[in-house]
Amino acid sequence: MRTRLTRARLIRRVAATLRVISALLGILTVAPGLTGADREGQEGQSALRSSGSVRREAPGRMQARVDLAVADYNDTIGRVMAGRGSVEQAFAKVHELEHLLISERDEDHLSALERMSEIELAQFAVRLPGVRLWSSETIGVEIDPAFFQDLAEKHGTAADRMFVRNYRLTYPIAYGWPDYVEPVTDLSGCTTYGGGELTNAYARWSTYASRYPGHYATDVGQILEDVSNRLIAPVCACGDAGSVRRELSNFVTRLPNEQITPKVRQRLKAIAAGQTSEIRFNCLPG
């Protein structure tokens, strides 16, 4: 993690330098509605995960599609800032960029992101306000929640504002790690219990789904599914059995009427009875 953060800081410093040079030379192309100030102060946040089928095509054709996707994203951001677009649509465009930059492959079986050097990645990042990119031990594309929260507060709906606030609480650090997971390696982590993070995450997203049904449905559903699995499915727990019992007890006390609560209560009883073979306590994933 230290290595990744060091590389990420280097990329951000290079990107900042390029922004200054570009501004001085007058060569930076700015999307409609975006100013230099809009591009400053963007910090990293949680990574979005790639999914879907892999598509391979010639590098030149892929680059053309990437350029079109970048222009489309910036056009969407510009329309939001002008009061003519949707924050939710802009958020969805980041998912599209993620898929294009990570999941789709060229003839060399490399993704567009993997083909970039550190300098190229820094140059590319300048073109994507509100998006954070990295390509080192792992590769990733993630929104900048600070940028999107500012966008939602100024130009969004109540559903947008609550979504981004929840998102920032759930993903407070970079590289896509939720607050209820402690990273152990670049690609794996253990689940933290006992501090209420899982219960808080489920409560905030269940409330959101009830209050704003249909909004950000894919993201809300995926987060709730992930939290649910960590509550009732086989799991790698950072702490001991006592920490898991505290978390589950907290959940059934705070959220007695949720659909998942009977299963959480059942697991709590199993742990009390010593039936814990499906849970790895004090777990360090490889």
> For 68, left (φ over 0), alpha (ψ -120 to 50), or beta?
alpha
H or E segment to which residue 57 belongs:
strand 56-57
**SS3 call for 181:** strand
> Based on the domain organization, do 9 and 29 belong to the same domain?
yes
Number of domains comprising the chain: 2
Q: Which residue among 135, 170, 205 closes a domain?
A: 170
List phi, psi (to 5°) of 143.
-75, 160
pLDDT tens-digit series, residues 257-279: 999 999 999 999 999 998 888 89
Is the per-residue pLDDT at 176 higher than 90?
A: no
> Based on the domain organization, do 149 and 75 belong to the same domain?
yes
> Based on the domain organization, do 145 and 257 belong to the same domain?
no
pLDDT tens-digit series, residues 104-135: 887 778 899 998 999 999 999 999 999 999 88
| Residue 239: domain span | 181-280
What mean pLDDT do residues 182-201 have? 93
Q: Quote the CA–CA distance of 90 and 79 in Å, as a whole number.
A: 9
Q: What are the C-alpha distances in Å from 1 to residues 5, 178, 187, 269?
A: 6, 15, 10, 37
Average pLDDT over the chain reads 82
- Asked if residue 186 belongs to a domain, the reply is yes
pLDDT-derived band at 31 (thresholds 50, 70, 90) equals: very low
- Asked if residue 286 belongs to a domain, the reply is no
Q: Which residues, in sequence order, are CB contacts of 163 under 8 Å at separation 6+? A: 88, 91, 152, 208, 212, 215, 216, 219, 220
pLDDT tens-digit series, residues 223-260: 999 999 999 999 999 999 999 999 999 999 999 999 99
> Based on the domain organization, do 76 and 134 belong to the same domain?
yes
Q: What is the number of other CB atoms lying within 10 angstroms of the CB of residue 22?
A: 16
- Among the listed residues 181, 177, 198, the one whose alpha carbon sits nearest the alpha carbon of residue 258: 198
Q: Quote the CA–CA distance of 201 and 169 in Å, as a whole number.
A: 8
Q: Quote the CA–CA distance of 72 and 258 in Å, as a whole number.
A: 40
> Based on the domain organization, do 15 and 130 belong to the same domain?
yes
Is the per-residue pLDDT at 30 higher than 50?
A: no
pLDDT-derived band at 61 (thresholds 50, 70, 90) equals: confident
Rounded (10°) CA dihedral 50, 52, 58, 60: -50
Structure-token pair, residue 45? 């946040």
> Based on the domain organization, do 139 and 205 belong to the same domain?
no
What is the percentage of the chain residues whose pLDDT exceeds 90? 64
> Based on the domain organization, do 70 and 24 belong to the same domain?
yes
Q: Quote the CA–CA distance of 198 and 144 in Å, as a whole number.
A: 22
> Based on the domain organization, do 8 and 123 belong to the same domain?
yes
List phi, psi (to 5°) of 274.
85, 10
> Based on the domain organization, do 22 and 132 belong to the same domain?
yes
